[in-house]
Chains A and B, each alone.
Chain A
Amino acid sequence: MPLRLTPALTLLIAFASMAVGGAGPPMPITHLRHWSYEPPVKAMVPAGQNGVDTLVRRRLTELGMKTSPEADRRTLIRRLSFDLLGLPPTPRAVASFEHDPAPDAYEQLVERLLQDPHYGERMAISWLDVVRFADTIGYHSDNGHNIWPYRDWIIRAFNENKRFDRFTLEQVAGDLLPDASQQTRVASAFNRLILSTAETGAQKLDYAARMLTDRVRAVGAAWLGQTTGCAQCHNHKFDPFTTRDFYSLGAFFADLEEPIVALPEDGMRVTTPEQEERLAALDALLAEAKRKPDPTEPHTLEKARKERQLYYESLPKVLVSISMKEKRSVRILPRGNWMDQSGEVVKPALPHFLPRPTIEGRELNRVDLAEWLVSRDNPLTARTVMNRLWKQFFGAGLSRVLDDLGAQGEPPANPALLDWLACEFMESGWDMKHMVRCLVTSRTYRQVSVPTMALLTADPDNRTFARQSRHRLEAELVRDNALAICGLLVRRIGGPSVKPYQPEHYWQNLNDPSKGMTELGFPEREYRTDTGESQYRRGLYVWWQRTALHPAMLAFDAPSREECTAERNRSNIPQQALVMLNDPTFVEAARMFAARILGECRGTARERVTWAWQQALQRDPDAGELRTMHELLAERLAFYRANGAAAELLLMTGFAPTPAALSPAELAAWTHVARVLLNLHETITRS
């Protein structure tokens, strides 16, 4: 059996290398032989077989290991629903799948889910992380900027299964395409997702350099799986990426029109022709009022101005890429120092160590960059994207270091498999749904996640994928799951970001109560909690304030999106318990879930607990679970019957009204049953 690196062994090696001087000069590395710079090679897979299964089994056979059995249907549909939609299945959907006699019942289920509009929302989350999509500019005053239509474009692109090469092209260069449209320009907002500042005294050269490096890092993270950041100051120590490569890549973006130190502009209106007509009409009215003031109606001008302004403000807008004729000049900054302007001026160029087209007689532009990113000869993009996709469906990447396929990353656990996926992705015409289908219909995906003792010993970290993995839901989905179970979730797709309940004073660090903020050049930030439907939207629509992200999202490891994030933390911390127990969103969810239990299940307490278990976990409770719930219910009923005021208080949390017909004590007691159920580890786990 080949030597495997157990964690202890890894640690031993790390310690040993520390002892011999880990800080010394790096070992010379022969870059050209590094696996991810070689073209992927597609392994032969017998006709009719899923390459995933063939190659996972091939590896297991080499190691003398076996796959795990297939999970039961309830587990499978729960897993698929979370992985493809980010929402739990309904008990009815589970029952119907469990009893579906069709031999391809599973494949049919996958197809239904792939056609579900929530699929695009689920797929968008990790892309929005890796391109650091957020509602605010990020530095210092952290003002809002107009950007949400880009998020909706991403959701739609996944739902329409836009080819990934086109998906790339429109984001990087949607403004430069011969067939540029409003929608491709919305996509080009990608180039505006950087952090920016409006701080007085901030230096343009400094921030121009920051913006450039920010963009190079984004291309490195989202497409290339390369940590380019080091090359800002020096040639990459371990990868062949040079400082010249770094700044030359940055030079592709030197044509973007944008304020360097100032608030961004309003951006492009994303309107329908009717909306544009209405705006034009209001403009005409305003012009008329200006030209010919009516002495009998002194307020006409003001009214026209206000009406026009209100309408204009209500129109969706988005920052887009606009290419300037006069580009900024880009210099190599010695040691990354923006004050040192002695470095050589560079033109846009593709990294020297990777296959690249010969283009002569003109300067390269963002279209060239995008086309290169998704060219058949680029060995990195397909591997990077497939490695991330693998993580979404198997819990960890084939190479676990998602943001670094370079020498300091981790070689893939199954190189043939990653190569096969990359080739299949490109050959399919960069067909994302095809690849998702390929992964989730595999036998490998359908395995149980509960390990045997033998498997735990042989492969504690599940690097062979001889079983499925289990993990806590992502931050957004923890919220979505609770809202879905309690029935409050509003399933509308897209629109402006929303502001759910947030603790008072949470934004206090952004404000100065002693003085008007405008004096210092930033607005007083007051969090205005949304009412109505906006309160119950999915987590991916939550207002993303980069310097003060919603604390419930933060507690569950949603990144602030100040930097591109390929890999989220998956922590388990006390703040998560406090959110699930005490955040009004979850207290209200428990109350509304209790109202559902009482309103929709008219039976004994036992039947009601069973019904509730079905809603949250899509299974029946066992005897022990029933007993625990019975005891809890009895205690809570006794308490709230004796303390009517406490019941009333508990039921006041949240805006959603509960049916008046329910007894407060009973509803309060069931709120605790619902609360316990919503808090269970199993409830927030995809297994």
Chain B
Amino acid sequence: MNRADKSSDASSAQAVVNRRAFLGRGAQGLGAVALTSLLQPLRVSSAPVPAPGGIRPPPFPPKARRVIWLSMAGGPSHLETFDPKPKLTAMHGQPMPESMTQGQQLAQLQGKKLICFAPQHPFAKFGKNQAEICALFKNIGSVLDEICLVRSMTTDAINHDPAHMFMNTGSQIAGRPSMGAWVTYGLGSEAAELPGFVVLTSLGRGGQNQPIAARQWSSGFLPSRHQGVQLRGKGDPVLYLGNPSGVTREIQGGDIAAINRLNHRHDLQVEDPEIATRIAQYEMAFRMQASVPELMDLSGEGRRTLELYGCQPGDGSFAGNCLVARRLAERGVRFIQLYHKDWDHHSDVKEGIEFKAREIDRACMALIVDLKQRGMIEDTLIIWAGEFSRTPMSQGSNGRDHHNRAMSVWLAGGGIRGGIVHGASDELGYAAVENITTVHDLHATMLHQLGVDHDLFTFKFQGLDAKLSGVEGASVIKAILT
């Protein structure tokens, strides 16, 4: 697709026809639903929405059909989660070896005295391979055989906002498309009544909830319809979803039918292809007005399921969002991103991690178990990652600063080898030293599992063939694939 097409975004009927003919696709989807069907009961449709990115058929057989990305916002410490460092315990209170840190950029610790700070929680062995993770995360430990731990991730940024941008868009410059937008742009959506890219956020209770900009799920220079739609825990789950007071669903449907009828008449006179799209989008909006509340209503979930996740309907927790994520996955949503905030432990990392473990440990396990028992884990790729990690050095008396040279992330499902550990950081957890991986590699690997060659998946923007996986080069992490 040419960059010049973006502003018109299907403004020319002929262009659309040409493009479809070329790609051998029929004119499906938009406008295909008759007005009369507006008030009929909702059904889950498997009619795919065409993918403008033209990645079809995929160059590789896809292993995953959808992604659930768990963004641990604030920067989780790898040293109190997934990367055991007994040597750091031994060196607690001693200066960091200068050879490690000299000449390197730090965040708030820049220019300060650098003292080793021991991991604040014990680690324990889990799974067939007896990998060690922090004992607070015993539920995740119980499904460790499904999980591939990567202990050698690195990122370019060490401040929250640019680091989120880098993790989400592959660039630290604002205005680039987020990965969810890229994926739905490339693969389209299988959800007929929901957006293809959905975002949920939850707050932690430790009190270090940093702000998150809406640009983290923006479509950037890709067509706007690929932007992430946030499902909110409070108020209307989707902005402006609720009818005005005094307007019933039937009346709303009647008004939309009238609008669409008049728009259709107008189209006969002016031949404007945007009108068919407008009609289809009013229909979609109306369907979403029913499908989203139905989606968010967890009252139909059994008691056992709620117990598995450890949530109550409508509690707005990360666990609740994980359950919603499973429901979104069932409904064909392509990219589901959950933000859980409050990982920014500049102080009191010990207590902070206890809060986090209570909030996410059970839920992460539940998501994997639940998807597995429904036969969906094979084609659902789950990725758990912060925007960066934290220093082995102390900040203040009991915290850790931002850090980008060694972080732990994990992947599960979607053709990922479970029960393995990939890469390693040095003995103090300062820098990745073995099988070093980058955010670009992570994006390339995700795209690969979705059947997309990250190097060929481009969009012309400002003179560049822009890619999610960046211009510097990226490699699929083959060693972690089944």
Contact = CB atoms under 8 A, between A and B. Distances in A.
B4 interface: yes
Interface in B220-269: 223-225, 229, 232, 234-236, 238-248, 251-252, 254-256, 258-259, 261-263, 265-266, 269
Contact of B5 (A7, A457, A546): A7
A582 B244 CA distance: 6
Contacts of A581: 240, 243-244, 252, 255-256, 285
A79 B75 CA distance: 52
A573 B210 contact: no
B482 interface: no
B236 A401 contact: no
A635 interface: yes
B234 A505 contact: yes
A504 interface: yes
Interface of B: 1-15, 18-19, 21-22, 54, 104-105, 107-108, 110, 158-162, 173-175, 195, 201, 203-215, 218, 223-225, 229, 232, 234-236, 238-248, 251-252, 254-256, 258-259, 261-263, 265-266, 269-272, 274-275, 277-278, 281-282, 284-286, 288-289, 341-342, 401-402, 455-456, 458, 460, 462-465
Interface stretch (A169-177, A380-388, A560-568, A592-600): A560-568
A547 B213 contact: yes
Nearest to B73: A509
Instruction: Rank and list the top 3 A-B pairs by shortest CB-CB distance, nearest first.
Output: A408-B463, A650-B246, A460-B14
A227 B462 contact: yes
A620 interface: no
Nearest to A572: B277
A636 B251 contact: yes
B19 A672 contact: no
Nearest to A452: B271
Contacts of A14: 1-2
A255 B143 CA distance: 58
A587 B455 contact: no
A529 to B, nearest CB: 14
Given A625-B262, A680-B266, A471 B215 contact: no
A581 B259 CA distance: 11
A586 B104 CA distance: 54
Nearest to B261: A628
Contacts of A238: 463
Interface in A624-642: 624-625, 628-629, 631-632, 635-636, 639
Given A503-B235, A563-B173, A632 B255 contact: yes
Interface stretch (A35-43, A197-205, A245-253, A265-273): A197-205
Interface stretch (A136-144, A304-312, A359-367, A655-663): A136-144
Contact of B7 (A199, A552, A568, A645): A568
Given A574-B285, A578-B238, A582-B243, A227 B463 contact: yes
A449 B110 CA distance: 61
B240 A503 contact: yes
A362 B12 CA distance: 54
A302 interface: no
A451 interface: yes
Given A139-B162, A456-B13, 18 more contacts: A8-B19, A18-B456, A201-B107, A201-B108, A201-B158, A202-B159, A237-B463, A396-B8, A408-B463, A456-B14, A548-B213, A569-B6, A569-B9, A577-B278, A577-B282, A587-B244, A650-B247, A679-B255
A456 B208 CA distance: 57
Contacts of A8: 18-19, 21-22
B105 A651 contact: no
Contact of A512 (B7, B21, B107, B203): B203
A23 interface: yes
Interface stretch (A110-118, A284-292, A514-522): A514-522
B285 A577 contact: yes
B225 A571 contact: yes
B59 to A, nearest CB: 11
B199 to A, nearest CB: 10
A480 B297 CA distance: 37
A598 B29 CA distance: 41
B245 A470 contact: no
A142 B251 CA distance: 41
Interface in A389-417: 396, 400-401, 403-404, 406-410
A504 B158 CA distance: 32
A531 interface: no
Contacts of B174: 138, 195, 560, 562-563
